[in-house]
């Protein structure tokens, strides 16, 4: 898949959307974690039900598991979830990254699609097109070179937005409103499946991105950039893009995702 872009032509704008996928990867995780926090704030203020719902295969916690139990609360239907997200997210954060997310529709469905596409090795460009960065990918040379430091810095704020959330709190919030993600996941053609499966696949796909000893070299192509190393160029698109956010940001994101999975007692290889 093409990486980066150089001009404002239609071809280059298309390449721009591809080069921004590193941020979209992070935003997909942010949408999951922060969206859960939003619903937790809202539902925790609601009147508790008379009794917790009967345990099911989706909500029961195995003996010895440290996965948080679902707290009894009312949550909106999937089709009605956007309004409450837009109302409450402004009270939670003024992050420009999240403000862009608010401008989209079907927030839970979008987050679900992003996570699924990452698990499939794809770059989630279409569902999060409004999130693409304004600045452009740049390299240190004319025809080839390493990524300029400023290009890595484009994703610092996004990485910070995610890692500032405590993984155990995000896990509790996710469990509380998991049925929304399950419903959206079922709509994508996974009836009866748990969204936990999509989370595990997405985290595994990112963790499978090869470790590199030096920052990758990119080659300038007509309207886009590509990895110079054939082995890197042959990677799944989402892994190629993940290499473009910089080593520090990759490690921060992977560490957070590992803690998040552990808090949910999800097994990632």
Predicted local distance difference test score (pLDDT) of residue 82: 84
- Tokens for 103, please give them: 């401008």
Considering only 39-48, 93-102, 212-221, which range has the smallest mean pLDDT?
Answer: 39-48
As to burial, measured by CB atoms within 10 angstroms (0-12 exposed, 13-18 middle, 19+ buried), residue 80 is exposed
Count the neighbouring beta carbons within 10 Å of the beta carbon of residue 242: 25
For 224-247, what is each residue's pLDDT tens digit? 889 999 999 999 999 998 998 888
CA distances from 164 to 98, 160, 175, 269 (A): 14, 6, 19, 25
Q: Average per-residue pLDDT in the chain?
A: 76
CB-based contact 171:67 (threshold 8 Å): yes
DSSP string, 62-115: -TT--PPPPPP-----GGGHHHHHHHHHHHH---HHHHHHHTSS-HHHHHHHHH
Q: How far apart are CA 64 and CA 128, in angstroms?
A: 38
Strand 224-227, strand 217-221: pairing: antiparallel
Q: What is the reported pTM?
A: 0.74
Predicted local distance difference test score (pLDDT) of residue 133: 63
Q: What percent of the chain has pLDDT over 70?
A: 68
For 79-126, what is each residue's pLDDT tens digit? 998 876 666 555 545 677 767 777 788 888 988 999 999 999 998 877
Give me the count of residues in the chain: 269
Sheet-wide strand order for 144-146: 144-146, 217-221, 224-227
Mean pLDDT score, 9-35: 44
């Amino acid at each position: 898949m093409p990486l980066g872009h150089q001009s404002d032509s239609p071809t280059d704008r298309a390449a721009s959307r591809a080069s921004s996928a590193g941020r979209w990867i992070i935003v997909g995780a942010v949408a999951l974690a922060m969206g859960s926090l939003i619903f937790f704030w809202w539902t925790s203020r609601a009147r508790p039900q008379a009794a917790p719902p009967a345990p099911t295969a989706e909500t029961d916690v195995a003996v010895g598991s440290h996965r948080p139990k679902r707290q009894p609360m009312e949550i909106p239907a999937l089709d009605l979830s956007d309004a409450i997200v837009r109302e409450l997210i402004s009270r939670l954060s003024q992050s420009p990254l999240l403000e862009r997310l608010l401008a989209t529709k079907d927030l839970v469905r979008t987050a679900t699609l992003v996570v699924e596409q990452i698990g499939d090795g794809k770059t989630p460009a279409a569902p999060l097109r409004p999130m693409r960065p304004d600045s452009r990918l740049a390299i240190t040379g004319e025809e080839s070179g390493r990524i300029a430091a400023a290009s890595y810095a484009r994703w610092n704020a996004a990485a910070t937005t995610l890692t500032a959330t405590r993984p155990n709190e995000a896990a509790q919030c996710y469990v509380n409103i998991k049925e929304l993600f399950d419903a959206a996941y079922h709509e994508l053609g996974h009836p009866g499946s748990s969204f936990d499966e999509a989370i595990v696949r997405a985290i595994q796909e990112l963790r499978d991105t090869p470790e590199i000893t030096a920052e990758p070299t990119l080659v300038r192509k007509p309207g886009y950039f590509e990895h110079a190393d054939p082995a890197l160029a042959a990677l799944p698109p989402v892994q190629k893009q993940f290499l473009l956010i910089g080593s520090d940001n990759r490690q921060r994101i992977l560490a957070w995702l590992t803690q998040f999975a552990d808090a949910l007692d999800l097994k990632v290889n």
